[in-house]
Structure 1
Amino acid sequence: MTNSSPSPLVSPTSSRSVTETVNGSHKFVIQGYSLAKGMGIGKHIASDNFTVGGYQWAIYFYPDGKNPEDNSAYVSVFIALANEGTDVRALFELTLLDQSGKGKHKVHSHFDRSLESGPYTLKYRGSMWGYKRFFRRAMLETSDYLKDDCLKINCTVGVVVSAIDCSRLHSIQVPESDIGAHFGMLLDNAESSDITFDVAGEKFPAHKLVLAARSPIFRSKFFDELEEDKQEIIISDLEPKVFKAMLHFIYRDTLTEDVDVDVATPSSSCMSSVSDTLTAKLLAAADRYGLERLRLMCGSHLCKDISVNSVAKILSLADEHHATELKAVCLRFAAENLAAVMRSDGFEYLKENCPSLQSELLKTVAGCEEDCSSGGKSRSVWAQLSDGGDTNGRRVRQRT
């Protein structure tokens, strides 16, 4: 007797039915209402046809009413299917506009009652939905809905449609955008370059349109300033490696790999080492050339290097180069680790070079104190000062 092997499992499939409404609106203005009165019960003024959900619709206004039993005491308003169709399901809303500016419109809406009664089904061309007693005529003629012998009616139609979502097995995967790679090749090959930058003797060919699209400073320099069309520009305020990294971002929308390896060296005072990193210099370049996204990317990268010894210098860099998000992170870190930060060389740097930042730090400290008093987990910064805080102690919130 042979054992039959089990049938291989077939991957499950799925589908989803989605029923929704395709909505559209039409505004119908009835000018000369008084002249339309007396045209006869059951006779209407029709709006122009309008299309919603693939069907033609029209608004019918009956100035003498549609129902003979009402003896013209009411005006009637209906929405009609104006082209061929069978069992068209839809929701409707009719709004008589208040023309006094008070916004007290008269609304008859089927949308609000759809859960109770479901959509209305129109069987054939000429089928209608609406109200025989839409508004009492005597009241209408003395109301704010009638102004300068004019009525305004808004109509909204929601045609019900159903569809089946395709199974995921039939979906098409779209890869991530590679536009940066293509623009990067343009930079690497210097193909069709129309401008060259001289940075400390090193030449960098580039494209004016690309630079202008990314930087408002370059855009102004190339297209707004009334000066001769230069083919070469000397850059004296950036190092070649910084300018190269900036071009890399402009074309590829990423940071160069050199940013990841060029980090501040740990030291007791890492004041100079933070400023000397490529990231810090690139932050300055981003500020100078109006590259907001690059400024955010540099700020995000510098956040990883925040410590008790480095926070003061990174804070001063953030303030100098208008990196508001990075500045906020530095202020919060310094406030939460105030005792240790005040013993660092960086704090002395702040006292001597950035006195305004000290007052901002005090405001942040006050905010931290409020968090503590409201039940937050942060330890009081003033408690840190009263019993001491060690740069290497557990009270300090070191970067993880």
Structure 2
Amino acid sequence: MSSDIFCVGGHDWVIRFYPDGRKLVDGSSKSDFFSVGIGLVSDAGDSGIRASCEFTFLDKRGKELPEGLSGRPSPMKKGYEWVRDIKEANQGSKYVQNDCIIIRGTVRVLVLANRLEGAKQGSITVPDSNFGQGFKELLESEVGWDVVFHVGDEVFRAHKSILAARSPVFRAQFFGPAGDPNLNEVTVDDILPSIFKVILRFIYTDQLPDVHDIVGFSASMSGAANVTQHLLVAADLYNLDRLKVFCESKLCKELTAVSVATTLALAEQHQCAHLKAVCLKFAVHPNNLAVMMKSEGFKHLEDSCLFRWRNFTCSMRTVFN
């Protein structure tokens, strides 16, 4: 009896079971054996192929029995069959249960090295994804826009569906229960046009331009940190979590004794726990503390309701200890 034909390595195979044992050359059979074989039934060409075969026997629950039959890789052509005999008296009872036997056959076709090299030479290189570039061009070309943002003296055109897909805030504004899908003009306050432009760029491409592209190549370290602080505020406003974490990471790397106070206030206001901890550890360093306490940012920090001097010094002692 034979299984259905199956394909492995581009060739067709079949499993055959001989309950009375396979026939020998003289026409007789091993009556005290049963046999199982895997045969190649498709044309393998003049050179043939090399393959290894394996049999695993399963119990009625589908669990593999410990004994199995396997062989080394060997050449095969159409009509060849890899067969193994099992003596019924010794092992048949392990495999046959209620007149039923379950056999799993495994075929592994070996690919010759020269054939593999030929395949490599004829392979096709898949280009890198230009997903982000396509959306960037869509944003810049303004094709199909359906909403206009007025930010300061500048106007930005965008696509509501893309904004809603990336920002829960935009989704609620345009398509939420209290939103207006027909809204096509929005005025944005408290965000600089240059920052809003970066926000749109990130929404469309999941990438950020270099900070010097925003503030110019002559920007100082403090100027770059100031841009990142504005981006963090905007990211928090529009629930852009990845952008917010990106800004936190960048601010950690750009900390200075002059900027740490304003960054600390920002971290407290926007619930950036890790950034806050980094700022506190940076601030208590003897080389930074005196400079920080003379900065304009520290005066704002001390006067604001976000931090009282007593709480701040307690936090510094905790970090220091």
TM-score by length of structure 1 reads: 0.58
Q: Are 1:49 and 2:1 counterparts?
A: no
Letter in 1 for 2:69: H
1:295 paired residue number: 244
- 278, 281, 285: which one pairs with 1:334? 281
Letter in 2 for 1:79: I
- 17, 25, 42: which one pairs with 1:83? 42
1:71 paired residue number: 31
Deviations 1:169-212 (A, max 9, x none): 99988876555454334323322211122335643211123323
Unaligned runs of 5+ in 1: 1-44, 111-116, 267-272, 366-380, 383-400
What is the distance in 1 between the residues matched to 2:126 and 2:221? Answer: 39
Deviations 1:48-70 (A, max 9, x none): 00011111001112223336675
When you count helix as a share of all residues, which structure comes out higher?
A: 2
1:371 paired residue number: none
Deviations 1:63-84 (A, max 9, x none): 2333667533x43221110222
Unaligned runs of 5+ in 2: none
> Identical aligned pairs, as a percentage?
34
CA offset at residue 239 of structure 1? 3.5
Cα 1:340/1:243, change in 2 over 3 Å? same
RMSD: 4.4
Deviation larger for 181-190 or 345-354: 345-354
Cα 1:320/1:80, change in 2 over 3 Å? farther
Preserved CA contact (<8 Å) 2:2 2:15: yes
Letter in 2 for 1:93: E
Cα 1:97/1:211, change in 2 over 3 Å? same
Question: Which gives a bigger RCO, structure 1 or 2 (Cα 8 Å, sep 6+)?
Answer: 1
Cα 1:146/1:192, change in 2 over 3 Å? same
Superposed counterparts of 1:151-190, under 5 Å = 151-162=101-112, 163-165=115-117, 179-190=131-142
What is the distance in 2 between the residues matched to 1:82 and 1:91? Answer: 15
Cα 1:156/1:101, change in 2 over 3 Å? closer
Letter in 1 for 2:16: Y
CA offset at residue 217 of structure 1? 3.6
Cα 1:84/1:225, change in 2 over 3 Å? same
Q: How many residues align?
A: 299
Cα 1:180/1:92, change in 2 over 3 Å? same
1:24 paired residue number: none
Q: Secondary structure at the match of 1:125?
A: coil
What is the distance in 2 between the residues matched to 1:234 and 1:351? Answer: 32
TM-score by length of structure 2 reads: 0.70
What is the distance in 1 between the residues matched to 2:125 and 2:82? Answer: 45
